[in-house]
Structure 1
């Protein structure tokens, strides 16, 4: 499947590096679920849509390829990646290092933001809207990393979440995978509100272990 993105030039600011901006736009659309695994990315269409040169686009593809978000196939083109079991293991290695640390030591706890994401997830659960539950889950973990106050860590998490969204496509036929984490996320917020950060970090590590095991089991099957 080959997909052209809508005109995204209105998203553009005076970014110092056009290649980085292009990679960020594509990464954000993958993280939002707008581009599914296996989608072919057309150089010609994307360059026109984003008003950049094809050389710039190729440089952005190289950045995303290093991040395992896209895959290049000789004589075929560039496609949105479809992560395998090894990719899932690497994703969760990174997440286990970043997220519990942000929960335990992050100086910028934003309970209002976390509560809003939980409310969105519960609404999606009531509606049976699996993609919306997945999006809310992504937003929740993004908010946890924001607690660190570090822009670099948030950028790193953005890359991880883009790849994570591709993994979620493998669970599209398993709505319960997302459903159970709605209330688990809410329980983490309750622990943070009570000031029980160490317990929240331990709980989150167990949560990530269980999610990884379920994903690996599904991919193995």
Structure 2
């Protein structure tokens, strides 16, 4: 498979954190299905997929989320599509949880002996290599990091087809989760919010060009 290098770089130069979208323009179902598929196909540690993606199109729900999202005041009302990404609570990600066991059996379709072997490896990883079992927050942070892989892939895929995006972490977690629970039926015993992600088409061009450090400042070869 050959992809033009310049087209890839052009997409990365095109992508920016869009602060306000053109509310009159909607992403087609075909294009948004592509974006969601890149999330589904994203990699993650041990392949355990600790995520769920809620596509919030209802204006009333967006308004309720907006009340607790100081970093999305213009994005939530104007975006064509908004995703709320959830991550599984830490107890579900333990090597010995029913979720992990069933996931390996049903989704990954490993035979029983392979499941037991992989769980032993995962136990060592969680207990010794990264000490994730020392505190619940450690496990949540590990699972949460996995959700940022589909975040990046969705934004890149969108940029490649000329669609803008904006990742949103500027929110009050408790308030957003309360809306998810009371208005959308999210079980907060099993899930917590990772981030919001808005998609659409820019209303105006960025006010200033993209700035980044040079490769020589951030890369060392040995």
- Normalising by the residue count of structure 2, what TM-score does the alignment of the two structures yield? 0.26
Higher strand share: 2
Higher helix share: 1
Structure with the bigger RCO (C-alpha within 8 Å, sep 6+) is 2
